[in-house]
Chain A
């Protein structure tokens, strides 16, 4: 069975500072990893994905994520946080199969203060 852990319920950062939202995963086989963001009363918006290739993946809105196979981690990062980045962030994993089923973490609330 595959699983995702987001160890922090909430991350607080000041605007302009770098941010990191942590994610670790557990799968049998090669993982496909995703980050999504959710704003209040909205669905999930895709930010970025890792399928194969470079360990540093760049995505939407200036976000990037680093895949680390030895640590089974896929941390989300941004060099300079904006107040508008405040939202709920979900890490998700999928194992290649005939399906697109994602297993999500419980989410991390990011709060960026002015």
Chain B
């Protein structure tokens, strides 16, 4: 079975631009979460979606938004990019929200803002 897939793998953007990152969960998984991993730090929670509804939001500005589609795939959007948004963006899926199953992570999208 395919794991969590993310696209693109790498992206270079300029300050002020916007970006859209995409994620396809493991087949059968209905919950998708997004994390930001800055170099040298652990992942920080951005959003969780379950059944197309936002179930949780981390401490990120409104420039960050996300959505989940009927097929459970998800997009993360970031507007007005700042240099500090440069990071590895990780998508993770799980069977449901709030269950004990572990999160399964994709390989991430490396975003560089110049």
- Contacts A43-B90, A107-B41 given: A100-B107 contact, CB under 8 Å? no
Please give me the residue from chain B that is nearest to A6 by CB atom. B42
A106 within 8 A of B: yes
For B44-70 the 0/1 string (1 means CB < 8 A from A) is 110010000001101000000000000
User: Considering the chains assembled together, what is the distance between the CA atoms of A59 and B44 in angstroms?
Assistant: 24
Q: Is B33 in contact with A100, judged by CB distance below 8 angstroms?
A: yes
Whether A55 is near chain B, meaning CB under 8 Å from some CB there, is no
Contact across chains for B56 and A101 when beta carbons are under 8 A apart? yes
Q: Say yes or no for B108: interface residue by CB 8 A criterion.
A: yes
Q: Is B104 positioned at the interface, with any CB of A under 8 Å from its CB?
A: yes
The residues of B that contact A44 with a CB separation of less than 8 Å are 43, 90, 92, 103, 105
Q: Which of B62-104 contact A (CB under 8 A)?
A: 90, 92, 94, 97-104
Could you mark each residue 71-85 of chain A with 1 if its beta carbon is under 8 Å from any beta carbon of chain B, else 0? 000000000000000
B98–A99 CB distance below 8 A: yes
Say how far A1's CB is from chain B's closest CB, in angstroms. Answer: 11
B106 to chain A, nearest CB (A): 5
Q: Interface size (B, Cβ < 8 Å)?
A: 29
> When A and B form their complex, what is the total count of cross-chain residue pairs whose Cβ atoms lie within 8 Å?
66
Query: Is B26 part of the contact surface with A, judged by Cβ < 8 Å?
Result: no
The one of B44, B45, B107 in contact with A41, judged by C-beta atoms closer than 8 angstroms, is B107
Q: Which residue of B lies closest to A88 (CB)?
A: B42
Q: A100-B48, A101-B56 are in contact. Are A43 and B106 (CB under 8 A)?
A: yes
Inside 8 A of B45's CB, which chain A residues have their CB?
101-103
Q: List 6 A-B contacts (CB under 8 A).
A: A43-B105, A90-B43, A100-B97, A100-B101, A106-B41, A107-B41
- Which A residues have a C-beta under 8 Å from some C-beta of B? 4, 32, 34, 36, 41-46, 49, 51, 90, 92, 96-107
